[in-house]
Amino acid sequence: MRSTRGWAADGSGVLRRTLLERRDLRPDDIAVRIDYCGVCHSDLHALREHGGESTPLLVPGHEFTGVVTEVGREAERFAVGDAVAVGNIVDACLRCDMCEAGQENFCREFPTLTYGGADRRDGTVTLGAFAREYVLREDFAHRLPEGLDPAAAAPLLCAGITVWEPLRALGVGPGTRVAVVGLGGLGHLAVKLAVALGARTTVVSRSADKAADVRRLGADELLVSGDSGTMGAARGRFDVVLDTVAIAHDLGPYLDLLALDGTLAQLGHLGTVSIETTDLLIGRKRLTSAGSGGMPQTAQLLEFCAEHDVVADIEILPSSRVEESLERLARGDVRYRFVLDLSDLDVATP
Ligand SMILES: [Zn+2]
Ligand SMILES: [Zn+2]
């Protein structure tokens, strides 16, 4: 086994600096020195649900960038020193119909998650990237294109790909009328990507105080969701609505925004929702969802972002301030993604 330092919760829900074990490299593995890792809403949920003395250690973190430090003897895609990026899945069967379609995120055998997953070969629980090193199968790492800032690119690997796949699947391009609901980690990247794809992009937000950000992100317009007059006037105007709001809410007002044959993509993992089917019937509207992404689409996203100069708006904190980042994320106090700098883990604690 190899060891690395990281931030782990032992059942108390509080992250503490801990010495962690990583596996010795298998022939098709690479070891990555983690430089930057984004802080995602899933990390908050995982910590809140984590508890009890007997639960395995939880190390969150599943959107990271870093540098390859070692390669397994059969690993061929990467060399020591390569800049890489890794998202929220680190293995899958690679044989099922979903994997063959390049959608390893939907693997029929369930993909191995970057943390809290079960390793496919030895069954151990995976520990995430709030740590200085990660060891993974090389097929699940991406080359980080030159020119992408490694800190600001980290959130592309979860937040970015989660909005990219539906934008692509729904054929968003020049002239598509897109509304993005919620301007957070996912939402701000959805706006940047939709704009870069050439769409006419509108933001729907609870507060009018984001108007300056909306313009800076390249969107054409801000609709304030609590303003029934504005929302009513916007009925039927959009081909695609990407709803990134992650708390329970009525989808009806967003279905109302869709034009004939328009699609509402709900990306907030709401679980069971109830809708009035007439809201779909009138205008033949569609309701869909998405989450994470497959390897080919993620590679394509990174290339697209390098070409179009798209990265996340981030606030970098040393990893020792991880608790502060989680607490501020919980109250929405970030524009628009925290990224942890893991280099402070090299320094021995006083
Ligand atoms: Zn995430
Ligand atoms: Zn599969």
**What is the domain partition of the chain in residue ranges?**
2-158+293-346, 159-289
Distance 33 CA to ligand 1 centre (A): 20
Residue 53 has pLDDT above 70, yes or no: no
Q: Can you tell me the mean pLDDT for 128-157?
A: 98
Asked if 83 and 142 count as a contact pair (C-beta separation under 8 A), the reply is no
- Topology of the domain comprising 2-158+293-346: Quinone Oxidoreductase; Chain A, domain 1 (3.90.180)
pLDDT at 10: 84
Ligand having the closest approach to the CA of 162: 1
Distance 283 CA to ligand 1 centre (A): 33
The tens digit of pLDDT for each residue in 192-229 reads: 999 999 999 999 999 888 899 999 999 999 999 988 89
Question: Is residue 265 packed enough to be buried (19+ CB in 10 Å), middle (13-18) or exposed (0-12)?
Answer: buried
Distance 244 CA to ligand 2 centre (A): 27
Asked if 28 and 137 count as a contact pair (C-beta separation under 8 A), the reply is yes
Asked if 255 and 264 count as a contact pair (C-beta separation under 8 A), the reply is yes
Distance 160 CA to ligand 1 centre (A): 9
The tens digit of pLDDT for each residue in 60-83 reads: 999 999 999 999 999 999 999 999
The tens digit of pLDDT for each residue in 291-334 reads: 999 999 999 999 999 999 999 999 999 999 999 999 999 999 99
Ligand having the closest approach to the CA of 269: 1
Distance 183 CA to ligand 1 centre (A): 16
Q: Can you tell me the mean pLDDT for 22-48?
A: 96
| Pairwise CA distance, residues 249 & 14, whole Å | 29
Task: Name which of 39, 50, 41, 45 is nearest 13 in CA terms.
Answer: 50
Residue 282 has pLDDT above 80, yes or no: yes
Distance 38 CA to ligand 1 centre (A): 8
List CB contacts of 25: < 8 A, sequence separation 6 or more. 31, 70, 71, 72, 135
Task: Name which of 175, 145, 138, 191 is nearest 313 in CA terms.
Answer: 191
Distance 159 CA to ligand 1 centre (A): 6
pLDDT at 51: 76
pLDDT at 226: 87
Q: Look up the CATH architecture of domain 159-289.
A: 3-Layer(aba) Sandwich (3.40)
Lowest mean pLDDT among 68-72, 90-94, 119-123, 207-211: 207-211
Asked if 32 and 136 count as a contact pair (C-beta separation under 8 A), the reply is yes
pLDDT at 348: 78
Six token digits for residue 11 = 């059942």
Distance 23 CA to ligand 2 centre (A): 23
Q: Can you tell me the mean pLDDT for 31-56?
A: 89
Query: How far lies 54's CA from each of 10, 47, 124, in Å?
Result: 9, 15, 15
